[in-house]
Each structure stands twice: as structure tokens, then as C-alpha cells.
Amino acid sequence: MAAILLPLASYGQRITYSYDVTGNRILRQMETRGAQSPRKKNVENQNAGHITPSVSISPNPTNGPLNICFSQWNDGNECRLSLSNMAGQVLIDQSINSIKTTLDLSSYSVGYYLLQIELNGEKETYKIIRK
């Protein structure tokens, strides 16, 4: 039995992740090992890279005010923000029509929240920490 399993043990995969400064996963890298030298394959996060470069969210963690700024904004943009707690309750759901907006989180309890931004049909979710 060991003679059968030993060669299979040398074949394997190792997955590593890369994160942006706000803690969102932006890259998954899969390394496979086998008879040949290790091969690396980049697998992009399903929702990363769509609108991330054009959105700036700060400060995160926040004591209350959360600034959201879009670097690439056109008057024809359709944008919607949705903030929910970790239980899935939607706390804020609003349309945005300007390059910069501020959400006041001071009335919410300390913890983790999810901010979903939908810009022109593309969705991105950000982890927000209220301290």
C-alpha cells in the first residue's frame, strides 16, 4: 500500500493568496508539484480587478466616518452602495451620483461589516472594520 501512495504524495498543490491594503483577496496563486519542476498558475479572484483600482475607501478601520472616493467617474455612471453586517442585515442601501461620498458608521456597533459597491453592473465587496 505504501508503494502505491508514496509516489502520489510527491504530487501536490500549494495555494498562496495575495491581499490588498484593506484585507481584500486580490490574487490566488496555485503551485503544482510533480515529476517536473514546480509550475505556478495565477488564478484571479472572481471579483477582484473589476472596479478596485477606481475605488478608494478610507479610513479602514474607522471610528465613524468612512470616505469613499472614485478615481474614474463619469456623469453616466450608475453606482449603488450597500452596507451589511455579518449576519447579512442590510443597514445602508443608497445610490451614489458623485465622485466622493461619506458614510457615517458612528451609530453602528464595533465589528466587521461588508460594503458592496456596484458600479455600472460590476460588483465588488469590501470588508470594513468599525472600531
- Sign of the torsion angle spanned by Cα atoms 122, 85, 69, 25: negative
pLDDT digits (tens, 9 = 90+) for 1-38: 555 555 555 556 777 777 776 777 777 777 776 555 55
Domain 52-130 adopts which CATH fold? Answer: Immunoglobulin-like (2.60.40)
Answer whether the bond into residue 59 is a cis peptide, omega within 30°.
yes
* Cβ neighbourhood burial of 128 (10 Å; 0-12, 13-18, 19+): buried
Residues of the chain with CATH 2.60.40.3080: 52-130
Q: Is the pLDDT of residue 79 over 60?
A: yes
Q: Is the pLDDT of residue 128 over 80?
A: yes
How many other C-beta atoms can be found within 10 angstroms of the C-beta atom of residue 123?
13
Single pTM value for the model: 0.60
Q: How confident is the model at residue 45 (pLDDT cuts 50, 70, 90)?
A: very low
